[in-house]
Chains A and B, each alone.
Chain A
């Protein structure tokens, strides 16, 4: 239980820090870079190294590459849903989650995890 409380606080603090920085930055497209900041990764990999060692964290970061590629596809789809299909932000970002899941698990099925 303590582990999950630590995860929650560490994740919340790091995500909020990147979000505040993103709020302050202009232009908007540059601030958007922080939407793909490694905030969850920093907290999770830090805990993984302490708990399981560097090899576990290395394996976790390998499949994170698939997740990051999926995030790129997700962002492009969100962009199209907003501009072409004129959806508002909330439904666009929720609907596009299907794309993230499909690409991430597709890459994992195709290329496999780290040895």
Chain B
């Protein structure tokens, strides 16, 4: 499936949903600052990767999918849950990129601050997208292998892959 950028998808989002994410993002940044000042730089650093807006964004993904299905006269509960799980799976791959961001920033910030931000953001984008792409490739390969029967007998047991 190709990657698409669709402006029309923004129409699904209500104005207050943007407000919630702005509020949570702002609060998470303030919290990271307060914890860093109160408990030291090490604890503050942990909270730079706090899944603060994850709750809001995943809940929104779920509700958008459910609403779309319900408009078509169907129960969208399962579809909403699956969309939210896909979003979470993407975040799992994205977190590998976040490790790359933090590592590159840590290694380069002493040499150049601006350069560190550029290098770290580039590392995040390259590693996150590569991890996502690789996960899709592996899934396609395993799917074909299972369909053509090229897996060992134990691997054909679908319970092992759940």
Q: Report A's interface with B, CB cutoff 8 A.
A: 3-4, 7-16, 19-20, 22-49, 54-72, 74-76, 78-79, 82-84, 86, 88-90, 92-94, 97, 100, 104-105, 108, 112-114
Contact = CB atoms under 8 A, between A and B. Distances in A.
Residue from A8, A45, A89 having most chain B Cβ neighbours under 10 A: A89
A114 B82 CA distance: 39
Contact of A59 (B33, B45, B98): B45
B91 A11 contact: no
A66 B49 CA distance: 8
The 8 closest A-B pairs by CB, nearest first: A32-B90, A15-B25, A11-B29, A113-B42, A36-B94, A67-B49, A63-B45, A12-B26
A88 B77 CA distance: 8
B117 to A, nearest CB: 7
Given A61-B106, A64-B49, A25 B3 contact: yes
B149 interface: no
Given A47-B33, A64-B101, 4 more contacts: A8-B26, A15-B53, A24-B7, A41-B48
Given A29-B87, A33-B132, A62-B45, A57 B62 contact: no
B88 A44 contact: no
Interface residues of B, number: 85
B142 interface: no
Given A30-B3, A60-B48, A67-B46, A83 B85 contact: yes
A34 B90 CA distance: 8
21 contacts: A7-B30, A10-B29, A11-B27, A19-B53, A24-B9, A29-B87, A29-B90, A35-B57, A35-B87, A36-B128, A40-B29, A44-B36, A49-B109, A59-B42, A63-B41, A64-B48, A89-B81, A92-B84, A93-B54, A100-B50, A114-B106
Contacts of B6: 24-26
Interface stretch (B16-24, B67-75, B151-159): B16-24
Contacts of A90: 55, 59
Contact of A35 (B3, B62, B88): B88
